[in-house]
Amino acid sequence: MALIENQKKEDGGFAETLKTVFYAVIIAFGVRTFAFEPFNIPSGSMIPTLLVGDYLFVSKYSYGYSRYSVTLGLPLFSGRIMEKVPERGDVAVFKLPKDNKTDYIKRVIGLPGDTIQMTGGILHINGQPVPRERIEDFVTTDASGRELRTTQYVETLPNGRKHRILEESDMGPLDNTPVYTVPPGHLFMMGDNRDNSLDSRVPGMVGYVPMENLVGRAEFLFFSLDNGTSFYEIWRWPFDLRLGRLFTGVK
């Protein structure tokens, strides 16, 4: 009898463990689908707003839900439910229209029906130049410790939203463009590092972004590592952790 009872307890304990793991997976799936999902920044296209090695949370509820905001991109439904149009100036994660798989993060610059053009490095929205104010240079160092400076501006969008941008020059290949007219149900996205961003100014690679492809809005940083340090290289955290960026909002 004792052997049978012990076997029952072991079976019951195993079943409870499986149940706990199942519930944990369901909760994690729900949080990542309906509330927040973590992302990390692998490229410099959003400098100075976002740096390589930043880790941030993206809110899934900000723009409603589509198949691309569901964890693993499961095709549970088509279109977008509870849809909300982003505000100009939001920093948002979306699936690259070219493959509907790759995660990109850029700033919302053009809304449906807007006209967008770059002329001599100046952004124009609906035919009007967007004001920019020259501020201090953005300063970094290269691998050899040499100081690098990039011209930095504060750009003010028509709705009053302000953000910093970098311009290495006003004569880059994407500093003079044709007029783009944003189609219905689409957005025009641009990186803040204007001369080093593959974005909606390049139709064959990014182009207009369908609102269905939105994953969510970038909200705040929860971690940041410098010098190419991986999240898993814990022994390097004391030297490369950017303490000043922790728990700061994305503007």
Residues noted as catalytic: 45, 106
Q: DSSP character for 78?
A: S
Residues in the chain: 251
Residue 226 contacts residue 240 (beta carbons within 8 Å): yes
Instruction: Name the region of 12 (left: φ>0; alpha: ψ -120 to 50; beta: rest).
Output: alpha
Tell me the residue type at 97: P
Distance CA 97, CA 207 (A): 8
Distance CA 179, CA 1 (A): 83
| Cβ atoms < 10 Å from Cβ of 63 | 23
Distance CA 125, CA 115 (A): 6
Residue 224 contacts residue 49 (beta carbons within 8 Å): no
Distance CA 206, CA 110 (A): 14
CB hemisphere CA count around 105 (13 angstroms): 25
Phi and psi (nearest 5°) for 47? -65, 140
